[in-house]
Structure 1
Amino acid sequence: MKTLEIKGTPRTEFGKKSTGAVRRAGNVPCVIYGSGETIHFSVPASEFKQLIYTPHSYLVNFDIDGKKELAVMREVQYHPVTGDVLHVDFYRVDEAKPVAIDLPVVLTGNSEGVKLGGKLTLSKRKLRVSALVKDLPDTVEVDVTSLGLGKSIFVGDLHIPGLAILTPASTAICAVRMTRAARGAQAAAAKA
């Protein structure tokens, strides 16, 4: 699993006034919770570009005044008008316990349905999974080689050793849709 290194500054004052001062200084208020003590800190807003605005999922190694913490991002709050990051929640990771995280889906192979003129559509970009940190992959790979026209792959069809998929089994991941060209080819083949 990919990791990022981020330095934070501890916060001792809370409330609207102190939080506003943190944001005016170009920082984002954050919190780490989970097993152990809750830690309130701030991080420069520029540090979050590589964490939030990416399709990848990361474990984050924090250095908060010399104290090391390993966490995953849980929730981000945005300003309703400007879209600026207002607050970020992180969940502390214990190496001996499973962690739940959203992993990006990567489609592999060349679908049979696409070869016949269909269009491959991705319905679910990320899946919620649970595993020990050492067993977490960077992505969830889905092989679409045998996917035919009008067929779909559901979460329940996936079986990945060492990984528990928390997304409901009835959720569609991808499908090959029938296009006009494929319908025309099918009709022409039926007439011949």
Structure 2
Amino acid sequence: MKNVEIIGFKRANLGKKESKDLRLEGNVPCVMYGGKDQIHFYAPMILFRDLVYTGDAHMVDLNIEGTTYNCILQDIQFHPVSETILHADFLQLFEKRAVKMDIPVKFEGTAPGVIAGGKMITKLRKITVKALPADMPDYITVDISKLALGKSVKVGEITPGNFEILNNPSTSIATVEIPRALRGKGATAEE
């Protein structure tokens, strides 16, 4: 799994005014959970670009004033209008403790239903997975080479490796929709 380094600085004062001042300076107020204590810190907003604005899942090497922690981004809050980052929560990782993460789906193969004129609809772009940090996959591969018109691939059809899939097994990942033009031809052929 890819790693992103974020350099942070401990916060002396907590509160709305201090958080607002940090955001005006181009920083993001953050908290790291999971260890013995919560650590409140801030980091430059520019460092979040490779972590937030990508479809990949990442581990974070969080360097807070010289001490490095292995973490994942647990939650992030954006401003509703300007889309700037308001706050970020990190979860500290430990080798023996399983963690939940949203892992992107990668499709493999060509669907016969698409070749026949159908339209591929992606219903689920990420799948929630629980695993030890060392066993966390970069992405989950889904084979669509058997998808005919009107058929779909469900979460239950994925064979997990050293991880557990937490999504409902009956949830569709991708579907090949029958276009209206083909539905009309099928109806006239039956008559």
User: 1:133-153: per-residue Cα shift (whole Å, max 9, x none)?
Assistant: 111111111000111110111
Query: TM-score, normalised on structure 1?
Result: 0.93
Aligned pairs (5 A) from 1:125-140? 125-140=125-140
In structure 1, the residue corresponding to 2:141 is in which secondary structure?
A: strand
- Partner SS state of residue 134, structure 1: helix
Task: Tell me how large the CA RMSD over aligned residues is.
Answer: 1.6
Map 1:102-121 onto structure 2 (within 5 A).
102-121=102-121
> Which residue does 1:12 correspond to in 2?
12
Alignment of structure 1 residues 60-99 onto 2, 5 Å? 60-99=60-99
Which position in structure 2 is the counterpart of 1:28?
28
Could you tell me which residue of structure 1 aligns to residue 49 of structure 2? 49
Cα distance in 2 for residues equivalent to 1:135 and 1:57: 13
C-alpha distance after superposition, 1:34-73 (max 9, x if no partner): 1321111101011111111111110000111111111111
- Residue 128 of structure 2: SS of its match in structure 1? strand
Which amino acid letter does the alignment assign opposite residue 5 of structure 2? E
Question: 1:163 deviation in Å?
Answer: 1.5
- Report the Cα offset of residue 126 of structure 1: 0.6
Percent of residue pairs identical: 41
**Structure 2: any 5+ residue segments left out of the alignment?**
none
4+ long deviations beyond 4 Å: 184-188
TM-score (ref. length: structure 2)? 0.93
Query: How far apart are 1:184 and its partner, in Å?
Result: 5.7
